[in-house]
Structure 1
Amino acid sequence: MRLIGRIVRWLLILIAGGATVGALAAAFAYLYFAPNLPDVAALRDVQYQVPLKVYSADGKLVAEYGEKRRDPLRFDQIPPTLVHAFLAAEDANFYEHPGVSIRGLLRATFELIKTGQKRQGGSTITMQLARNFFLSDKKTYSRKIRELFLALKIEKALTKDQILEIYLNKIYLGNRAYGVGAAAHVYYGKNVKDLSVAQMAMIAGLPKAPSAYNPIADPSRALERRGYVLTRMHDLGFIDRTQYQQAMQAPITASLHGTDIEAPAPYLAEMVRQEMYNRYGDRAYTDGFKVYTTILARDQIDAVHALRNDLIAYTERHGYRGPEAKVKLDAGALKAWRADLTRMPAAGASASGQAVPAWDAMLGRYAPVGGLPAALVVASGDKTAQVYLDGGQVVTLDLKDMSWAGAYISVNRVGPVPTRVDALLKPGDVIRVRDEQGRWSLAQVPKVAGALVSLNPRNGAIVALVGGFDYYASKFNRVTQALRQPGSSFKPFVYSAALHDGYTPATLVNDAPVVVKDSALEGVWRPENYERNFNGPTRLRLGLVHSLNLVSIRVLQSIGIDYALKYASRFGFDPARLPHNLTLALGSASVTPLEMATGYAVFANGGYRVKPFYIERIVGGDGSVLYQAQPDTVCEPDCPASAAATAPAAPLPADTTGPAVATPLPPAGTLAHGATTSVPAIKPAMRVISAGNAYQMTSMMKDVIRMGTGRAALRLHRADLAGKTGTTNDQVDAWFSGFNSDLVTTAWVGFDGNQPLGHAETGARAALPMWMGFMGAALAGKPEATMPQPQGIVTVKIDPKTGLLASPGEADAIFETFREGHLPKPDTPAAVSGSEATPQGSRGLTQQLY
Structure 2
Amino acid sequence: MPPFRADLLQRDAEHRDRRAWYITGGIAAAIILMGVLSGVFWRWAFHDLPALPEDAAALWSARREASITLLDRNGEILDIRGPRYAPPVRADELPPHVLQAFLAIEDRRFFRHHGVDLRATVRAVLANMRAGGSVQGGSTITMQLVKNLLLTPERSIRRKVQEMRLAWALERQLTKTEILELYLNRIYLGAGAYGLEAAARRYFNKSAADLTLAEAAMIAGLPQAPSRLDPLGNLPAARDRAAEVLFAMEAAGFITETQRHAALLDPATPVRTRDEDAPSPEIFGYAFDYAIQLVREELPGAPNDLVIRTTIDPDLQADAHSAVHELLEAEGEAERAGQAALVALTPDGAIRAMVGGRDYGDSQFNRAVQARRQPGSSFKPIVFAAAIEAGLSPFTAYTDEPIDLDGWSPRNFGGSYRGRVTMREALRRSINTVAAQIADEIGIDRVVDMGHRLGIESELPELPAVSLGTAEVTLLELAGAYATFANDGVRREPFLIMQVTDTRGHTLYEHVDSDGERAIEAEVAQTMTGLLQDVVLQGTGTAARMGERPVAGKTGTSQSFRDAWFMGYTADFVAGVWVGNDDDTPTADVTGGSLPARIWNRFMTAASEGLPIRPLNAPPPRDLTEREERQIAFYASLSRAFEAEAERIP
Both proteins in one fold, TM over 0.5: yes
Aligned residue for 2:539?
Answer: 708
The structure-2 alpha-carbon separation of the partners of 1:700 and 1:450, relative to structure 1 and needing over 3 Å to count, comes to same
Partner of residue 221 from structure 2, selected from 205, 209, 215: 205
Amino acid at match of 1:588: T
Q: Which residue of 2 aligns with 1:547?
A: 430
Note the C-alpha offset of 1:34.
12
Aligned to 2:529: 698
* Cα distance in 2 between the residues matched to 1:58 and 1:797: 51
Tell me which residue corresponds to 2:79. Answer: 63
Alignment of 1:47 with 2:60, yes or no, is yes
Which residue in 2 is equivalent to 1:506? 395
Match of 1:451 among 328, 331, 341: 341
- CA distance in structure 2 between the aligned counterparts of 1:620 and 1:259, rounded to whole angstroms: 28
Q: How far is the alpha carbon of 1:107 from its aligned partner?
A: 2.4
Greater CA drift, 165-174 or 552-561? 552-561
* CA displacement, residues 140-178 of structure 1 (integer Å, 9 cap, x when unaligned): 555544533544454455554443322222222334322
2:83–2:193 Cα contact (<8 Å) kept: no
Look up the match of 1:285: 304
What is the deviation of 1:625?
A: 3.4
| C-alpha distance 696-803 of structure 1, shift in aligned 2 (>3 A) | farther
Q: Does the CA-based 8 Å contact 1:310-1:767 persist in structure 2? A: no
**Match in the other structure for 1:267:** 286
One of 355, 375, 382 as aligned partner of 1:466: 355
Structure 1 residue 89: deviation in Å?
2.3
Q: By how many angstroms is 1:706 displaced?
A: 3.0
1:313 partner letter = L
Structure 1 unaligned spans of 5+: 1-20, 319-407, 413-446, 635-684, 814-828, 834-850
Which of 373, 394, 412 is equivalent to 1:528?
412
Q: What does residue 20 of structure 2 align with? A: none
C-alpha distance 526-492 of structure 1, shift in aligned 2 (>3 A) = closer
Q: Are positions 1:486 and 2:375 aligned together?
A: yes
Question: 1:247: how far off?
Answer: 6.0
Is it true that 1:725 corresponds to 2:555 in the alignment?
yes
**Contact 2:485–2:526 (8 Å) recurs in 1:** yes
Contact kept? 2:85, 2:503, Cα under 8 Å:
no
Per-residue deviation, residues 782-810 of structure 1 (Å, max 9, x unmatched): 463544759xx985335667537x9xxx9
> In the TM superposition, what whole-angstrom CA distance separates every residue of 1:213-233 from its partner, at most 9, and x where no partner exists?
556777786666555444434
- The corresponding residue for 2:591 is 762
Alpha carbons of 1:747 and 1:307: their partners in 2 closer, same or farther (altered >3 Å)? farther
Residue 4 of structure 2 corresponds to none
- Cα 1:696–1:240 change in 2 (3 A) is same
2:139 maps to a residue whose letter is: S
Q: Match of 2:292, as an amino acid? A: R
* Residue 106 of structure 1 pairs with residue 106 of structure 2: no
Mapped partners of 1:74, 1:456: distance in 2: 39
What's the secondary structure of 2:60's corresponding residue?
A: coil
Letter in 2 for 1:274: Q
Mapped partners of 2:487, 2:629: distance in 1: 32
Task: Measure, in 2, the Cα distance between the counterparts of 1:477 and 1:208.
Answer: 43
Shift of 1:511: 1.7
1:234-290 per-residue CA deviation (whole Å, 9 max, x = no partner) reads 44454555665676688896686359968954322212212334566686333xx33
Distance in structure 2 (CA, Å) of the matches to 1:766 and 1:714: 14
Q: C-alpha separation between the residues in 1 aligned to 2:197 and 2:458?
A: 53
Matching residue's letter, 2:316 = D
Match of 1:362 in 2: none
Question: Aligned ranges for residues 238-317 of structure 1 at < 5 Å?
Answer: 238-241=254-257, 244=260, 257-258=274-275, 265-278=284-297, 284-286=303-305, 289-293=306-310, 295-297=311-313, 300-309=314-323, 311-313=325-327, 315-317=329-331
Name the CA shift for 1:492/1:276 in 2 (closer, same or farther; >3 Å): closer
Rate the CA distance shift 1:617–1:701 in 2: closer, same or farther, 3 A.
same
Kindly state the Cα deviation for residue 314 of structure 1 after the two structures are TM-superposed: 5.0
Cα pair 2:432 2:468 within 8 Å, conserved? yes
Aligned positions, number: 594
- Which deviates the most, 249-258 or 127-136? 249-258
Uncovered stretches (5+) of structure 2, i.e. residues with no partner = 1-30, 643-650
- Deviation track 1:127-151 (CA, whole Å, cap 9, x = no partner) reads 3234334444444555544533544
Partner of 1:380: none
Residues 729 and 709 (structure 1), Cα distance of their counterparts in 2 relative to 1, 3 Å cut: same
DSSP 3-state at the match of 2:365: coil
1: CA distance, partners of 2:83 / 2:247: 34
Contact residue 580 and residue 587 of structure 2 kept, 8 A: yes
- CA distance in structure 1 between the partners assigned to 2:297 and 2:492 by the alignment: 24
Distance 1:220 1:501, change over 3 A: closer
Q: How many Å apart are 1:622 and its aligned residue?
A: 5.0
Q: Is the 8 A contact 2:232 2:273 kept in 1?
A: yes
SS of match in other structure, 1:54: strand
The partner residue of 1:556 within 439, 446, 449 is 439
Kindly provide the amino acid, as one letter, of the partner of residue 290 in structure 1: V
Contact 1:607 / 1:694 at 8 angstroms: preserved in 2?
A: yes
Paired position in structure 1 for 2:384: 495
Matches within 5 A, 1:144-183: 144-155=160-171, 158-183=174-199
Q: Which amino acid in the other structure matches residue 341 of structure 2?
A: A
Identical pairs, percent: 34
The AA in structure 2 aligned to 1:99 is: G
Distance 1:689 1:593 in 2: 21
When residues 588 and 276 of structure 1 are mapped into structure 2, their CA distance, relative to the original with a 3 A threshold, is closer
Tell me the distance in 2 between the aligned counterparts of 1:104 and 1:726: 76
1:738 paired residue number: 568
Q: CA deviation at 1:542?
A: 0.8
| Per-residue deviation, 1:537 | 0.7
With 704-713 and 262-271 compared, the bigger mean Cα shift is at: 262-271
Specify the structure having the higher radius of gyration (Cα): 2
Q: Distance in 1 between matches of 2:170 and 2:88?
A: 20
- SS of the residue aligned with 1:747? strand
Residue 91 of structure 1 corresponds to 107
Match of 1:588 in 2: 470
Counterpart-to-counterpart distance in 1, 2:522 and 2:322 = 36
Partners of 2:198 and 2:108 in 1: CA distance: 24
Amino acid corresponding to residue 594 of structure 1 in structure 2: L
Equivalent residue, structure 2, for 1:356: none
Aligned counterpart, 2:5: none
Distance 1:789 1:99 in 2: 76
Matched, 1:611 2:493: yes
Q: By how many angstroms is 1:743 displaced?
A: 4.0
Q: Could you say what secondary structure the match of 1:746 adopts? A: strand
Q: What does residue 625 of structure 2 align with?
A: 797
What's the C-alpha RMSD, in Å, of the aligned pairs?
Answer: 4.4
Aligned to 2:372, what secondary structure does the other structure show?
coil
Cα distance in 1 for partners of 2:382, 2:116 equals 77
- Conserved in 2, the CA contact under 8 Å of 1:616 and 1:629? yes
Please give the TM-score of this superposition, normalised by the length of structure 2: 0.76
Q: Which residue identity does 1:127 align to in structure 2?
A: M
Rate the CA distance shift 1:749–1:626 in 2: closer, same or farther, 3 A.
same
Change in Cα spacing, 1:769 to 1:59, as seen in structure 2 (3 Å) is same
CA apart distance, 1:572: 3.6
**Paired residue type of 1:625:** T
Would the aligned equivalents of 1:67 and 1:285 in 2 still touch at CA under 8 Å?
no
Name the aligned partner's letter for residue 603 of structure 1.
Answer: F
CA offset digits 1:383-422 (Å, max 9, x no partner): xxxxxxxxxxxxxxxxxxxxxxxxx7x549xxxxxxxxxx
Separation of aligned partners in 2, 1:619 and 1:269: 15
8 Å Cα contact 2:324-2:342 kept in structure 1: no
